[in-house]
């Protein structure tokens, strides 16, 4: 248990029947777990519970070995700073620019300026194609740019656990390829555990350590064919 960033132990999700009940799923340190066949409606109940935004009907949700339900409120807020939760439901503040939205967390916690907050993340912003949009306001940009800005805002926090549903433009061939590149770079630089859900996650197979498919209320383990050519040293961080 202490070797997992996230552990869902015999969890029954609230008001949901798409998932196995009870559900047990663990994500190890620096492991990337992929779940296909989960659209937005199926993904949100699981991610809400995993991110501590909702309580399970039964079972335990543990982050880094500690039960989230037993944490005091201030400890829970600190825990959420270590988690990136990304879904189409996440919103940006419309009265400030994209750059200010992305820098908001570091500015608040570190007491720095927007420029100081964004400087260490120039490569991330470049990979996401956001540099020319930082002075625009959220209502002024396309849905694709908006979604990338949400990812940027979460990743600049340096999260230790990434929980995300891949939807919309980021689920297209080009969008998924861009995001896979961003995640590959982020994980190589910072390390993090990740749980990614979506209808199809083929673009993320090279990053994944385990792949599941949600089918008829069951979570079925799948083989990632790309792993047959992967050197054994790629698995050493999980030992």
Q: What is the pLDDT of residues 180-202, one digit of tens each?
A: 999 999 999 999 999 999 999 99
Helix 98-110 / helix 143-155 crossing angle, nearest 10 deg: 10
pLDDT of 236: 52
Q: Cα 65 from chain centroid?
A: 19
User: pLDDT value at position 76?
Assistant: 77
- CA 236 – CA 29 distance, rounded (Å): 12
| Residue 1: predicted pLDDT | 45
Q: Residue 197 — φ and ψ, nearest 5°?
A: -125, 150
Matching residue, tokens 């961080």:
237
Flag residues of the chain having pLDDT under 70: 1-2, 16, 226-239
Q: Which residue ranges make up each domain of the chain?
A: 1-81+197-239
Predicted TM-score of the model (pTM): 0.90
pLDDT, one tens digit per residue, over 215-235 is: 988 999 998 876 555 555 555
DSSP assignment of 168-186: GGGGSHHHHHHHHHHHHHH
CB-CB contact of 152 with 102 (8 Å) = yes
Q: CATH number of the domain at 1-81+197-239, please?
A: 3.40.50.300
**Residue-level pLDDT at 130:** 97
> What integer pLDDT is reported at residue 21 of this predicted model?
83
């Amino acid at each position: 248990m202490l070797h997992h960033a996230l552990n869902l132990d015999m969890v029954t999700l609230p008001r949901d029947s798409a998932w196995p009940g009870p559900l047990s799923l663990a994500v190890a340190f620096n492991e990337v777990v992929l779940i296909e066949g989960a659209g937005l409606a199926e993904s949100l109940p699981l991610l809400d519970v995993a991110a501590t935004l909702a309580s399970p009907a039964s079972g335990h949700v543990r982050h880094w070995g500690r039960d989230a339900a037993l944490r005091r409120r201030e400890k829970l807020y600190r825990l959420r700073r270590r988690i990136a939760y990304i879904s189409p439901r996440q919103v940006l503040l419309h009265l400030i620019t994209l750059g200010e939205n992305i820098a908001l967390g570091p500015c608040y916690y570190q007491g720095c300026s927007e420029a100081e907050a964004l400087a260490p993340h120039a490569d991330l912003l470049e990979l996401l194609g956001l540099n020319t949009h930082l002075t625009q306001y959220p209502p002024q940009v396309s849905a694709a740019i908006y979604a990338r800005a949400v990812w940027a805002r979460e990743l600049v926090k340096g999260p230790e656990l990434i929980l995300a549903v891949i939807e919309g433009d980021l689920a297209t061939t080009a969008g998924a390829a861009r995001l896979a590149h961003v995640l590959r770079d982020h994980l190589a630089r910072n390390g993090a555990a990740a749980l990614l859900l979506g209808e199809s996650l083929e673009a993320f197979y090279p990053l994944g350590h385990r792949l599941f498919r949600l089918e008829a209320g069951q979570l079925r383990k799948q083989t990632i064919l790309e792993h047959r050519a992967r050197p054994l040293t790629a698995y050493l961080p999980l030992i």
